[in-house]
Amino acid sequence: MKKTMEIPDCRYPSGPVLVQPSGPTPKHRLYLSNLDDQKFLRFSIKYLYIFREAVPINRLRSALSDILVHYYPLAGRLTRVVSGGGSEGSIESEEKLEVDCNGEGAVMAEGFVDMSANEFCSRSPNRSWRKLLYRVPDASTFLGVPPLVIQVTHLTCGGMILCTAINHCLCDGIGTSQFLHAWAQASANPLSDPQVTPFHDRTMLKPRKPPQINFPHPEYGTDLIGNNSSSSLSLNQFLLSQPLTPISLTFTSPHILHLKKQCTPSIKCTSFEMLAVHVWRAWAKSLELPSTLQIKLLFSANVRKKIKPNLPHGFYGNGFVLGCAETPVNQLLASNPYYGIKLIQLAKQSLHDGYVRSVIDLLEEKRSIPDMSASLVISAWSRLGLEELDFGSGKPLHMGPLTSEIYCVFAPVAGDLGAINVVISVPEGVAKRFEHYCINGFEEREEKSDIEGVNNGERYCEIVV
181: which residues sit within 8 A by CB, 6+ positions away? 195, 196, 385, 388, 389
- Give the Cα separation of 246 and 404 in Å (integer): 7
Among 28, 100, 154, 390, the active-site one is 390
Phi-psi region of 385 (alpha: psi -120 to 50; beta: other; left: phi over 0): left
398 is catalytic: no
HSE toward the beta carbon, residue 328, CA cutoff 13 A: 6
Neighbour order of strands in the sheet with 17-19: 17-19, 106-112, 148-154, 160-167, 44-51, 398-401
Longest Cα–Cα distance in the chain: 68
Tell me which amino acid residue 279 is.
V
Backbone angles phi and psi of 246, in degrees to 5: -75, 135
390 is catalytic: yes
Tell me which amino acid residue 136 is.
V
- Give the Cα separation of 388 and 394 in Å (integer): 9
Helix (H) or strand (E) holding 379: strand 375-380
- Give the Cα separation of 328 and 322 in Å (integer): 19
- Give the Cα separation of 381 and 401 in Å (integer): 9
Among 36, 37, 168, 255, the active-site one is 168
Residues acting as catalytic residues: 168, 390
